Amino acid sequence: MQLIKFDPLRDVKTIEDEIESMLREGWSWSPVIAPLFALDMYEEDNTLVTEVALPQFKKKDIKVTVDSGGIEIAATHSSDEESKKESTRHYYRQESRQDYWRRINLPPEAEWAAASGEFKDGILSVKIPLNPSETTKSVDIK
């Protein structure tokens, strides 16, 4: 697999989107430090396989987008629990939210338009075929 040169300007749009989101939602927004979930990326039979452990998330909570630059994985899980005890006039409400977002660069030989994904037992698996024939070209020197 070919190494990809780091481009610091690639994530500028993402930062702009996060700032706009923060301004839209108001100044009460504060970042939550969340654990990074296990991520594994490897090549198998000319296919790039990306596996992410997303426990506590459901299929409907996860959004995966793929373009020529990379894979973007976003997941949001929220739960709402309420209990009432009429005899003691006790009310209880608990809300929780967990977010995950990650963007991973793709090698140039990845055929991102043919990507497929599967979510099973808390593991998200995204497979992207690789076309190794287009990665290098021999140049005749005259």
**Which domains are delineated in the chain?**
35-132 (2.60.40.790)
Regions of the chain where pLDDT drops below 50: 29-30, 32-33
Tally Cβ neighbours within 10 Å of residue 48. 23
**pLDDT value of residue 53:** 93
pLDDT at 98: 84
Give this prediction's pTM. 0.61
pLDDT tens-digit profile of 37-70?
889 999 999 999 999 999 889 999 999 999 988 8
CA gyration radius, the chain: 21
Looking at residue 107, its pLDDT comes to: 87
Q: What are phi and psi of 141, to 5 degrees?
A: -100, 125
pLDDT at 128: 95
Quick check: 49 and 43 in contact, CB under 8 A? yes
